[in-house]
Amino acid sequence: MAVGSAEPLPTPQNDPFYTPPSGWDSEAPGTILNSRPVEVASLGPQPQDADSWQLLYRTTDTAGQPMAAVTTVLRPRTGRVKGLITYQPATDASAPQCAPSFVLRQGAPDKYDASLDFIQIDQMLSSGHAISVPDWEGPKGSVFAPRQPGYAVLDGVRAAERFAPLGLSGTDTPVAAMGYSGGAIATRWAAQVHPTYAPELRLVGVALGGWTAPIGPYLVSLNAGPFSGFLPSLLPGMMRADPRLAAAFDTHLTPAGKALMAAGDSKCVTPNVAQHAFLNMDDYLTIPFSQLFEQVQASFADLDFGPVAPTAPLFLYHAVHDEIVDIAPTDRAVAQWCASGARITYTRDRLSEHVSLAVSAIPAALRWIDDRLAGRPAPVGCSTRTVLSMSLGGA
């Protein structure tokens, strides 16, 4: 399909671009397998004022096996590119048509789920940076797979650095990572596995907010609450990524429960959350939801992060009164990581809640990233501030 065509975009499962060529699995991680120019949408009627492409590249799944993924890469049309930001959207869905590589394109049917992403991409471009936006959930659409999101992010960076039209300086390129809420999961994994998986990359800073919760307890806490619609959005991809979890749900889901999972697997997060507020998974299982998760605790043992912080400098932020992800685990993680010698700038925002902080924190987070990409060192040690609002300049 030609760039700018009015033809309907094929979804990833129907788009041959996502199918890697023969022999791809023997290539090194980060190898570009295919590329194409695309137009990235914006909140207005026109696409982003940027040159943009998609790269199919080789990466690695949770089991250490070859996996193919797509990243959408952009650069400002004028001026020299200063650095590279890998930006991880909060996809929070298992359906292939919710992947960033589809929803960000001009002509995708629904911009709503990507509205925050368009805002952030526009501001990153205005700062003179190239951007990589990977499909970090992988082809199985799993938000909570261990390690895989980090591999996909870092191999997306490797692919971007090798893609000549971006004008980057290879492994000399300064790289920053950024993500909020669900996107913070992939961003944290990238920071966590960076020293061992891709140590040649110059990861100079990591900005993330709205997430550090242990996975199992978090999912149980959603049940029967106002945000329980996340469950049918997230669980199908988790089951595809973990046979143990799939077996447990297959045993205990009722026919209505299986229909619920199938329906949730076909939609993006916004319609799922809107449709399934106060959904009680106990009504769709033969045992209580919390009991099922007690049976599959082993599936979550390697999903959560340990007490040792990533080596890259961190900029963390969280709403004190976050109604979706409690701040307490973030407070505990910061305390543990600071004790291990991390460099952390942590801001707690009193006025915001989960969604509003995603927007109000953007200027402060990007200022911090700009400083790192410009070569200004991050503050030594740890600092924690509680501010009225990050939108008022508190960082």
Q: Which residues are catalytic?
A: 181, 322, 354
DSSP, residue by residue, 244-266:
HHHHHHHHHB-HHHHHHHHHHTT
To which residue do tokens 């990591």 refer? Answer: 206
CA-wise closest residue to 272 among 237, 231, 322: 231
Residue 36, SS3 per DSSP: strand
| CA 235/CA 142 separation, integer angstroms | 8
Interatomic CA distance for residues 360 and 393, integer angstroms: 9
Helix (H) or strand (E) holding 182: helix 182-197
CA distance 346 to 386: 9
R_g of the chain, CA atoms, integer Å: 20
CA-to-CA dists, residue 228 to 137, 154, 358, angstroms: 20, 31, 20
Three-state DSSP state, 103 = helix
- Asked if residue 383 lies in contact with residue 394, where contact means CB atoms within 8 angstroms, the answer is no
Residue 96, Ramachandran bin (φ over 0: left; ψ between -120 and 50: alpha; else beta):
alpha
Q: What is the C-alpha to C-alpha distance for residues 346 and 323, in angstroms, rounded to an integer?
A: 19
Beta strands in the chain (DSSP E): 32-37, 50-60, 66-76, 84-88, 130-134, 174-180, 202-209, 314-319, 344-349, 382-387
* Cα–Cα distance, 32 to 22 (Å, whole number): 13
Contact of 18 with 12, CB cutoff 8 Å: yes
Residue with tokens 């030609």: 2
